Amino acid sequence: MSQRQYFGTDGIRGAVGSFPITPDFVLRLGHAVGRVLRRAHQGAGRPTVLIGKDTRISGYMLESALEAGFSSAGVDVLLSGPLPTPGVAYLTRALRLDLGVVISASHNPYGDNGIKFFSAQGEKLPDEWELAVEAQLEEPPQWVDSASLGKARRLDDAQGRYIEFCKATFSAELSLKGLRIVVDAAHGAAYQVAPAVLHELGADVVAIGCSPDGYNINAGFGATAPQALVDAVRQHGAHYGVALDGDADRLLLVDGNGRLYNGDELLYVMVADRLRLGQAVPGVVGTLMTNLGVEQALARRGVPLVRAKVGDRYVLEELVARGWLLGGEGSGHLLALDRHTTGDGMVSALQVLQATMRSGLGVAELLADVTLFPQTLINVRLQPGQDWRRNDRLASEQAAVTRELGEAGRILIRASGTEPLLRVMVEARDGAVAQACAERLAAAAQAPA
């Protein structure tokens, strides 16, 4: 397979004003995607795409550039305005559109932005499609004539439609009445949607991180900065707090005691709820970073965990390949494929809250069987040309530590995909042991190969 030049693991992303996040390139990108759509759509009428975005100031510029690119290729455009990434995926499928487009850099600061795409089924697109778009980008543009230009219009009540979808994933026999819930939307795409979903299901809602100004997305709020949520839960005497990231596909949760729960723990709660209902859970997909304590707790309940590469894209691919439904990663990207085709922070929050309401137990009680292993991560800077795989001292030390830990811990050594760093992670029942073992491995990694 050819190497992708522009697409990363989650679309195209970068600093606004630097290639490729510039209006001229994004116009060309829209045109190239439109050309690929037109070829696949021959004889079936004019293709239609939905464009949604988060709350970054640069979204206006990139939205206009994409719209022009699609129109110039003869593709119609629907504009939703600010909408969570999973909301774009849902509406693309529900409205029988040909493509969903999201302008967002997720949890990154406002100076970054990106473009990602969903298929007509609301799913991530395969590498082959991305390669076809990149090939089209190398071709000269083929502007359509005036009679063939695409039209653009606003999609009325996109947020309302998505709110109803989220509510429909929550049991009709339950409500959130009696619960005070703080919701933190990171000043991002869910700033209107998230409070409305919880309020309409009966909760007393306190909203923070819901006042975007184009510059404050993810700044001190949301899933990447959860202390604001912890403080607000305590201040308002709330039962729970829900934190999303800038495009609302990631979830962290806080209980009334101010305890923060990560994605690994929330995934376990979702699995346990299915098992309590008598539903089969043939397996769960995590990542290389999923906590060993969660894996062992699942195993005690007869549920195997398979580890994919880090990234929700790879978790999704593994779930689809195995025909399983539940997966996720510690950062809060959670997947319930019988509820949605992609990771959805609000839907995941509702699954966890539903489990507490159905069982009458708090999240801490639902996690009573799970003891997380302390993890130590050390980044080792690699020298130019250094091949850590051929480091005999590291290999020897890794074998020794593996023997010492046995089933009471594990090692993960992997190269960063973006920096000249080797990431050395050790987890063990004893945090001091994890720290000592990680330091031994890091020292060995720095030795000459």
Q: Within 10 A of 408 (CB to CB), how many other CB atoms are there?
A: 13
Question: What is the Cα–Cα distance from 215 to 133, expressed in whole angstroms?
Answer: 31
The number of angstroms, rounded, from the C-alpha of 327 to the middle of its chain's C-alpha atoms is 12
421-428 β-sheet, strand order: 375-381, 421-428, 409-415
Catalytic one of 71, 72, 80, 106:
106
Q: Which residues of 133-157 are buried (b: 16+ CB within 10 A; e: fewer)?
A: bbebbeeeeeebeeeebbebeebee
**Dihedrals phi, psi of 240, to nearest 5 degrees:** -145, 160
Residues 171, 358 contacting (CB under 8 angstroms): yes
Q: How many CB atoms lie within 10 A of CB 360?
A: 7
Q: What is the DSSP letter of 283?
A: -
Inter-residue contact 206 to 313 (CB < 8 Å): no
**Cα separation, 318 vs 184, whole angstroms:** 30
Distances, alpha carbon 283 to alpha carbons 153, 297, 373, in Å: 43, 13, 21
54 SS3 class:
coil
Contact 398, 411 (CB under 8 A): yes
| 80 belongs to the catalytic site | no
Residues 66-91 as b/e (b if ≥16 CB within 10 A, e otherwise) read bbbbbbbbbbbbbbbbbbbbbbbbbb
Rounded CA Rg of the chain: 23
Residue 55 · residue 16 · CB < 8 Å? no
CA dihedral 393, 394, 399, 405 (to 10 degrees): 130
Under a CB-based contact definition with an 8 Å cutoff, are residues 67 and 95 in contact? no
> In 323-334, which positions are buried (b, 16+ CB within 10 angstroms) versus exposed (e)?
ebbbbbbbbbbb
User: Hey, which residues are catalytic here?
Assistant: 106
